[in-house]
Amino acid sequence: MRGYFVYYLKILWAFCVINETIASAIKITKDDAYKKLLSLRSLAFEDCGSLYNVNYLNIENCSRVPCSMARDSTVKVTVLFDDNGNGVSFLKHEVRWVFTYLKSEAAISPDPCDGDHNCILNVNESKSYWANIYVNSTLPVMKGSMLWEAKDENNKNLICFEVPVVITM
């Protein structure tokens, strides 16, 4: 009888060791899970050399690319990113409409995004910013992309992404 008891204890011990080993191997923090969920819900974009990791991109009234944007309208863009604990509090935006043979500057508000405009927010251990982009009435009605760069006070490129768009009437 004692042999069975020792045998069961050994099995229980082995089960606990295996469980702990597997748990430590696939350990994921709550914050990592949140960021992964956000990235899955994010609008698709192409990173073009961001210093910081962009976790989430939302463009108002756009659920898939290419984003349809009407001329003479204003569209809100929201970005969630990791600033690696650097405490980013200033972003200067450079946004361009890129078409086959045409690059055009886009009007952004607020620009720069700083403490005066309440456009940079702390979200968990990440940062979030929003800005409104004006879709000029002079843009051609065609497919292209929106190239978005956000720079710091020293003109260092922190965030860069490109999103396919379709300009409509």
Per DSSP, the three-state class of 20 is helix
Residue 61 CB-density burial (10 A; 0-12 exposed, 13-18 middle, 19+ buried): exposed
Q: How far apart are alpha carbons 69 and 169 in whole angstroms?
A: 8
Question: Which among 37, 159, 132, 34 is positioned nearest to 78, based on CA atoms?
Answer: 132
Over its length of 169 residues, how does the chain's per-residue pLDDT go in tens digits? 566 666 766 777 777 667 666 655 555 676 677 666 677 788 999 999 999 999 999 999 999 999 999 999 999 999 999 888 888 889 999 999 999 888 899 999 998 888 777 888 887 778 899 999 999 999 999 999 999 999 999 999 999 999 999 999 9
Domain residue extents for the chain: 42-168
Write down the architecture of domain 42-168 according to CATH. Answer: Sandwich (2.60)
Q: How far apart are alpha carbons 25 and 146 in whole angstroms?
A: 40
pTM: 0.77
β-partners of residue 25 are: none
